[in-house]
Amino acid sequence: MRIGLDIDGVMYKWDATARYMLREVLPASPYKDILTQESQGWNWIQEQVSPEHWGWLWTEGVRLGLFRYGHLYPGTIQAVRALAEIGEVVLITHRPKQAVTDTLAWLGMLNLPISGLHLLTNGENKGLVRPGFDVFVDDKPENVQDVLAHSDCTNVILMRRPWNRDFNCQYGMKVESLQEVVDVLL
């Protein structure tokens, strides 16, 4: 069994790290009291900050560690290890080109039992990754739809997050944690 896992929003708390960087790392940040809660929508952070500061996050913020530091969701390491006992775990994520080295270093530090990695740097459709997956887990509804539309994978799982709570995952299931994915696959 091939299990495709997204990184950001599934394993890695990208939202929390991005908000932290905009509050605490951005020079003279005006967001100290604004970016304290988890995003409520896919574009929530971008809508809260100026275009200049959003640009800073994707340039200087990436250089300073947006994809190198931060926290995992609780239980991620244990769940990925358990998934690797069930099948091949392949990570698939969208990242800017300038974050590839940090992503590889971060994953190396975690020492997870993964069988493969797809770092998509040009917004490629996750459903076109080959070989495909028997199970696919992501937090972005569009990625789940892309996999359903462009691959043979019919077992898709949407990681429930505040930014996707209104999405009706009619062809898959919603879970709260990677441990729930393990429980479903056992």
CA dihedral 73, 78, 83, 89 (to 10 degrees): 70
The residue-averaged pLDDT of 35-63 equals 95
What band does 166 get if pLDDT is binned at 50, 70 and 90? confident
Q: How confident is the model at residue 167 (pLDDT cuts 50, 70, 90)?
A: confident
Cβ contact 80:178 at 8 Å:
yes
Which pLDDT score, from 0 to 100, does residue 42 have?
86
Determine contact, residues 159/135, Cβ cutoff 8 Å. Answer: no
Q: pTM to 2 decimals?
A: 0.93
The confidence score (pLDDT) of residue 171 equals: 66
Residues 73, 61: Cα–Cα separation, whole Å? 21
- Closest by CA position to 179, among listed 17, 10, 15, 16: 10
Average pLDDT of span 148-157: 91
pLDDT above 70 as % of the chain: 98
